Amino acid sequence: MAPATDSLLEERRDHPHPADGTAAAYALGESDAEAARLRVLDAVYGSTSRALLVDAGIAVGWRCLDIGCGTGLVTHWLGEKVGASGGALGVDISDLFLAQARGASKQHVVPHVQFAVSDAGAGNIGEAPFDLVYARCLLSHLAQPARVLQRMAALTKPGGVICVEDIDCGTGLPVAASPAHLRYWQLYRAVIAHHGGDPSLGRKLPRLFHAAGLKPAHVGVVSPTEPAEDIRRLSPLTLASLRPALLRAQLAAAAEVDDLIGALHSIDHTTAACPMVQVWARKSIA
């Protein structure tokens, strides 16, 4: 069994507050609106994620683990690629997201695609090691991403693949420099940092891989410009999901956040999505 998986996902849910050491909830929350936002995020980044996994060698018969799987869109795609002789397991802390993921599995009758909540018993986590362990937009929300990456490697069989994607919301974002966008990214960085995460984690991924004893076979950065409508929607939807956390942390007033959501929705020109850094490495056989 893979006992490390429980604590791996617990790290996403409850990590130390950077200032006072108290636990802080996942900043984007758990709601139907957030589940819908995750589907828009996949519409923006899904094609580049799938291209990355193809580059990493995903093949029929592989056993895959998708950590922080959300509503399971990538997990289902992995299941399609590996076929019935392989398997795809998606794990997340959210019962709400996993219920939607399981619902999609029942609709398409894919028994080799399964989902487990993080704090379930070990029997619901699945057997390690895996041919592929994957995470997208997970590590940037964690207080100890290096430790979690090491655990991901431990869940991967020798010769298997560890594949991570995460955003880099630092300076130099390839978006239109409107006041609304600039303030949005300022608030995003502030609230993620307040919850113990690192909104600029993406640029640090290669160094984290090396520190974990993993030599990257691929390092890249993508910033999609299509589909334009989904890219335009992603920022206001993200801010709406962050609204409760922003207000609790007193990082912004409700009126400002609501006005900013409206301003972001009203922007009708094409922007580019936040840069996503992509890294994969093969675990040493020795």
User: Reduced to 3 states, what is the DSSP secondary structure of residue 188?
Assistant: helix
The reply to whether 179 falls in a domain is no
The reply to whether 177 falls in a domain is no
> What CATH number does residue 34 fall under?
3.40.50.150
| pTM of the shown model | 0.88
Q: 268 pLDDT band (50/70/90 cuts)?
A: confident
pLDDT(171) > 80: no
Q: Domain range for residue 21? A: 4-168+197-224+272-282
The total domain count for the chain is: 1
Classify the C-alpha dihedral 261-263-269-272 as positive or negative.
negative
Q: What is the pLDDT of residues 52-111, one digit of tens each?
A: 999 999 999 999 999 999 999 999 999 999 999 999 999 998 999 999 999 876 666 678
Q: What is the pLDDT of residues 217-261, one digit of tens each?
A: 999 999 988 888 999 999 999 999 999 999 999 999 999 999 999
Half-sphere exposure in the Cβ direction for 74 (13 Å, CA)? 35
The reply to whether 175 falls in a domain is no
- At residue 103, the pLDDT reads 85
Classify the C-alpha dihedral 149-152-158-160 as positive or negative.
negative
Q: What is the pLDDT of residues 32-45, one digit of tens each?
A: 999 999 999 999 99
